[in-house]
Amino acid sequence: MFKPFRTAAVLGAGVMGTQIAAHLANAGLTVHLLDLPAKTNNKNNLVETAFKKALKQSPPIFFTEKTTHRVKLGNFDEHFHRIAEADWVIEAVVENLEVKQKLMQQLEDVIREDAIVSTNTSGLPIHAIVNDRSESFRQRFLGTHFFNPPRYLKLLELIPTSDTDPDVLKRMQWFGRSCLGKGGVIAKDTPNFIANRIGMYAMMVGLRAWTTQGYTIEEIDTLTGTFVGRPKSATFRTADLVGLDTLLYVVENLYPAIPDDESRETFRVPDVLRKLVSTGTLGAKTGQGFYKKQNHQILSLNLETLAYEPTKPLDLGDMQAIEKLPLGDRLPALYRDSGRAGTFFRQMMLDILGYSARRIPEIADNPIDVDRAMRWGFGWELGPFEIWDALGFEAVLADMKVADIPIPTWVEKMHRNGGRSFYWNDHDVYDLKYQSVRMETPADEMNLVDLKADSNRILWQNPEAALLDLGDGVALYEFRSKGNTLSLNVVNGLAEVLDWLETHDDIKGLIIGNDSPNFSGGANLAEITMMAQSGNFDAIVNLIVQFQSILQRIHYATKPIVAAIQGRVLGGGCELVMACPYVVAATETYIGLVELSVGLIPGAGGILRMVMRADERAASESPDHIRPFLQAAFETIAMAKVSNSAYEAQELGFLSPTTQIVMNADRRLFVAKHQVLHLDRLGYTPPPQQNAILVLGQPMRAALEHAAYIFQQGGFASEYDRYLANRLAYVMTGGELSAPAIVPENYLLQLEREMFLPLLSQSKTQERIAHMLKVKKPLRN
């Protein structure tokens, strides 16, 4: 077991330096962020200005406002001595080899003998930065290349030199995965390492299709975006976001650094890119790049005139049938397409796949590291070699030969030795010795793919949910509905599973979770709307009663039930989680009671639990002490706030202070399982019944309604928003009670039910639901 870092120093407060410092602070470290001294009386002016700018970034780089206080600002003149406190020092100064070498010389005189030093350079040789340092220093030095933004992108490229101590590398791998939530990939000390080398090549292939092959910007972005399992920013929107000047700088530096790259000419900068940068057309930061937004219309660049024009219809044929296929089937279908879309995709993929294969072993030792780098760093759903397998290994190989695309020796030899796939089963991938490498799941993670494939592990299932045996007497309830919504199948399944749990003494407890990016999108609005439109309001009432009852059963179950959550946890999904006595949450959990955005109020205990938590947070049972916490809870629900992180969810009241928060989302089911086992060993007892909830009655209701009025008058809420907020205030303060009173849980649950159905029949609520189902965005009518 390695020792975690507790104090770090980040040298350089540029875009990456500030964000790396922020993420280390998110992980609980004290971080010294230092930069050059300003030429003013306040030598911290440069670093303070950079930090203030970073605080305004969207999406936010810190988990909570409190987290920012872990970052201590300073300058190299007055505060360089602080580096002696650091367990880990990260260099992120200007990309200049001489500057970095000089800084390393200064560091060697200050750092502790056991401190690790790393560089975040993306374009300079790692080994050259420390050539003149002592052996001891070089043994504790490596490259740690974070991807922008560090908080949100999983990839951390680790680049050891020939002198790096193997234990130092192992410690960085462990800390990155367990404490920073990163996916570590070991890269060779080569230009642009792994992800940027392949990613930049793919971008240049897209650019050249525009400049030489007659495809439009929109057509290329369609065929390099979500349609093929890549981010929606695709090629040209990504370039605009990165900055055309940054793109030019990277390519200009890469080209001379790879004289032996057989595809080097692909990295030659197109003339149009130089022209754009020379005229100050730099992308999103200047308001125009390959795209420009003008009068609420998106325009794109005309290659010949360099003028911006409205988008033209795509000339890619009918791709609707292909688009409906799952990605694993969609890619082969597009590859076989005989039209312009298929021609582009085939040429592009043969080029990129061939290039990726030829970069092994130059940049990495096996396909899995390349694939992980592209998935974790560039957001591809499948890496190059996974795509190759999906398209058909032998078909792609044959097409490469026809197209005279060079095929590396190791691929040819693998094929001669019987290899027909890079991933020849779910666990093994070929390495350079043409032998399989076992892809082990880390000991503190769980592989649900394997579990779901084992029929002996399935204890119960219906079309949209299943109960899986995780071993050691722990079961997992996993729902698989579209968007992980709480459909009728999911709700009914949960009721059946709770019955099952009570009758199986060999099961110690239950986890509610899944392996999807998002835990739950909330109630299935489409099903509820169909019931309402058909006039089947009794069914809706029964559903609400049933769901409330199920959540109460979960809360008071005699066996431990733990929710393991990640990503979006909205509406009814949030109510489900709040009902669970114990929760394991990934830090990147965005949870909220968002019902007011679709014209409803929480109807399955969400209001009840927010009122209870307001009571619990107060210093005493005095209404004066409870009032500010209830006001905050009211505003949180009325504004449909969603947390920025699991830590902020605790501040907002959606997660309890006892929630176990994990930086690496892949560990959440493992941690949840061990929490169930721990609670069982302690002799689990359910929470005590809450039959004495203090609600504040009419005086508080008037105050909350006045707050809603102020919001409307200030232009922050519509008239219907205010109406909904008043209905919310009615429930939160106890309905018609004229003064503070003690009520049981069922009292508030009944108020939730009584308010939900009338709102569903309102025309403005129906408009909001229809709009959400159609465009996936809230309507403020």
Considering all CA atoms of the chain, what is the largest pairwise distance in Å, rounded to the nearest integer? 84
Strands (E), 668-712: 693-695
CA–CA dist 86, 34 (Å, integer): 12
- Decide if 237 contacts 221 (C-beta within 8 A): yes
Are the beta carbons of 633 and 758 closer than 8 angstroms? no
State the DSSP code for 486. Answer: B
Take residue 376 and report the two structure tokens written for it.
């974790």
Is the Cβ–Cβ distance between 580 and 554 less than 8 Å?
A: yes
Q: According to the model, what pLDDT value does residue 438 have?
A: 47
Structural contact between residues 630 and 700, judged by C-beta atoms closer than 8 angstroms: yes
Measure the CA–CA gap between 227 and 223, rounded to whole angstroms.
6
Torsion, Cα 368 374 375 377, to 10 degrees, reads: 130
Which pLDDT does position 159 carry in this prediction?
97
Span between the terminal Cα atoms of the chain, in Å: 56
Q: With both helix axes pointing from N to C terminus, report the angle between 195-212 and 244-257 in degrees, rounded to the nearest 10.
A: 110
Instruction: Give me the residue label for tokens 């999906």.
Output: 390
Q: How do 71-75 and 88-91 pair as beta strands?
A: unpaired
Cβ burial of 726 (10 Å; 0-12, 13-18, 19+) is middle
Query: Does residue 59 have a cis peptide bond before it, meaning omega lies within 30 degrees of 0?
Result: yes
This prediction's pTM: 0.92
Cα distance between residue 446 and residue 443, in whole Å? 8
The CA–CA distances, whole Å, from 634 to 2, 609, 722, 729 equal 45, 12, 12, 7
d(CA 93, CA 561): 48
CB contact at 8 A, 395 and 221: no
**Structural contact between residues 507 and 559, judged by C-beta atoms closer than 8 angstroms:** yes
Average pLDDT per run of 10 along the chain, which is 781 residues long? 93 96 97 95 95 94 96 97 97 95 96 96 94 96 96 96 96 95 96 96 96 95 96 95 93 94 95 95 94 92 93 91 93 96 97 97 93 96 95 95 95 86 64 50 76 87 94 95 93 95 95 94 90 85 93 96 97 97 97 95 96 94 94 96 97 96 94 96 93 94 95 91 96 95 95 91 90 88 88
Element (H, E) at 385: helix 384-391
Residue 434: its pLDDT value, please? 43
Phi and psi (nearest 5°) for 11?
-105, 110
Residues in the chain: 781
Per-residue pLDDT tens digits for 78-122: 999 999 999 999 999 999 999 999 999 999 999 999 999 999 998
Tokens of 711: 């919001």
Integer Cα distance of 364 and 186 in angstroms:
7
